[in-house]
Amino acid sequence: MVRTQKEAKDLQIAYIGGGSKGWAWGLMSDLAMEERLSGTVKLYDINFDAAYDNAMIGNSLYDRSEVSGKWKYEAVRTIDEALQGADFVILSILPGTFDEMDSDVHQPEQYGIYQSVGDTVGPGGMVRALRTIPMYVEIAEHIKKTSPQAWVINYTNPMSHCTRTLYEVFPDIKAVGCCHEVFGTQKLLAAMLEDLKGIRDIDRSEIKINVLGINHFTWIDEAYYEDINLLPLYEEFVDKYYKQGFEGAEEDHWMNNHFASAERVKFDLFKKFGLIAAAGDRHLAEFMPHSWYLQSPEKVREWKFNLTKVNWRKENRTHLLEKGKRLKDGTETFELNPTGEEGVGMLKALLGLGDLITNVNLPNTGQMPDLPHGSVVETNALFSYDSVRPLVAGKLPKPINNMVAHHVENQAITLEAGLKKDKKLGFQAFVQDPLVDLAPEQAEELFENMLINTSDYLPGWDIYNSLSV
């Protein structure tokens, strides 16, 4: 149960996926720099040793003089141990392994389908969803049984499916899905103000926006800095940089960073539809027909973003594992740096330590009236003491809403297929994704191969039952 403000010094956080070599370290850093919170973080992971190592790393921070938030970390062997007495639950897991992700991203390339991320939509996002859904069914059941009053913050992708599954299994769950993609667009608008108006040192939180859409396919129809309406400026900015793209500092250049872009996809979508697309180009491209931005690696380079190869992720994981060993044995010092995520800010607001308005993923209760009730949408919400209230975002223009609605409905079919373990229904969603521009026979072959490659994570599925095309 959420504590009162006076009890914010004895919090219990359950971290599911506590062996993480990215998100968990980021949370440790943010918690260590927040003086108003302290308590215990219980780390649960299917790899107990990884959670144990993270507990050692987290506990090494406790006595450092510059650490304001005092937290104890404990690795536990069962999810219920982690959830027992939890005020908050953090969900940050890798659904499967990088081998399954390799199939998600690269198996479709044999059929001419390229994906820049492969974790939300497209063939990779769909199959990732099918193996993630049973995991989240189990997580939701444990939360319902062990910590039904806890607030749940999900960072795992595919965000919409994860959040929707939690609510399907446990309708009274208090869960939100968090994503930082919109933050990048706020930073771009701040850079625009410096470029066009010479206004420097703007924090992205000073850019006030109205967010509409679904995760990784969000849009902004209102944006202000103080009394400056940013949409007319954005049109000027797009005209200035449409052809060459907007490239920031050298270390952030799209050719040197797997996750960076020159914003050309974002600019093109503004030219076509008149609103600011508010996610990274790598994600936005996957929601559109494959011929637009992802037709080939050469086309991707023309649009100045990257296909993130899974081999790179595997190599990076090796580096992170080596870093983890150094952090654990003390040969490398854990650096305290703010992540820019708002998870700790959400915790503070839910504890009554100041309100927060930010974009989150929640079931639609009217904040987007043109999308189905209950579908998970991404809009702004007000966080206050023990409360998250979605703010009415309004309606997208019909052409954009039609695109968003198609993905919403396809995600709903995928979720139903995952819950029912229904291969035919899954295939019906698969062939309706804009990236799957294949003959039926090819689509069936690809879908079946991808299911076989992820079959270890599809309990109860009849994988080898043939489809009739």
Residues sharing a CB contact under 8 Å with residue 256, sequence separation 6 or more, in sequence order: 250
Average pLDDT over residues 201-221: 97
User: Tokens standing for 375?
Assistant: 């579908």
407 is a catalytic site residue: no
What pLDDT score does 255 carry? 57
Q: With 50 as the cut, is the pLDDT of residue 79 above it?
A: yes
Classify strands 207-214 and 387-390 as parallel, antiparallel or unpaired: unpaired
If we measure between CA atoms, which residue out of 307, 272, 267 comes closest to residue 286? Answer: 307
List CB contacts of 371: < 8 A, sequence separation 6 or more: 364, 377, 401, 404, 405, 408
Residues spanned by the domain of 31: 5-96+117-178+330-340
**Is residue 127 a part of any domain in this protein?**
yes
What does the alpha-carbon distance between residue 24 and residue 17 come to, in Å, rounded to a whole number?
8
Rounded average pLDDT over 100-129: 97
At residue 260, the pLDDT reads: 81
Classify residue 218: in a domain, yes or no. Answer: no
User: 106, 142, 180, 319: which one is catalytic?
Assistant: 180
Look at residue 388 and tell me if it is in a domain.
no
Give the separation between CA 317 and CA 329, rounded to whole angstroms. 18
- The mean pLDDT value for 417-433 works out to 97
Predicted confidence at residue 1, as pLDDT, reads: 45
φ, ψ for residue 392, nearest 5 deg: -65, 120
Confirm whether 453 is domain-assigned.
no
pTM summary value: 0.95
- The reply to whether 82 falls in a domain is yes
pLDDT tens string 238-282:
999 999 999 865 556 655 677 789 999 999 999 999 999 999 999
Mean pLDDT within 102-121:
97
**What domain count does the chain have?**
1
pLDDT digits over 314-369, tens only?
999 999 999 999 999 999 999 999 999 999 999 999 999 999 999 999 999 999 99
**Which residue has 């040793």 as its token pair?**
49
What is the predicted pLDDT for the residue at 7? 56
Q: Evaluate whether 57 touches 327 at the Cβ level (below 8 Å).
A: yes
pLDDT band of residue 22 (cuts 50, 70, 90) is: confident
Instruction: Please tell me the distance from the alpha carbon of residue 40 to that of residue 30, in angstroms, as a whole number.
Output: 14
Report the CATH number at residue 77: 3.90.1820.10
Is 230 inside any structural domain?
no
Residue 41 lies in a domain: yes
The Cα angle at residue 63 between residues 62 and 68, in degrees rounded to 5: 65
**Residue 192 falls within a domain, yes or no?**
no
Q: Given pLDDT bands bounded at 50, 70 and 90, which one contains residue 467?
A: confident
Q: Who has greater pLDDT, 462 or 410? A: 410
CB 286 within 8 A of CB 117: yes
Of the pLDDT bands very low, low, confident and very high (cuts 50, 70, 90), residue 466 is confident
Confidence tier at 465 by pLDDT (50, 70, 90): confident
pLDDT in tens, 364-420: 999 999 999 999 999 999 999 999 999 999 999 999 999 999 999 999 999 999 999
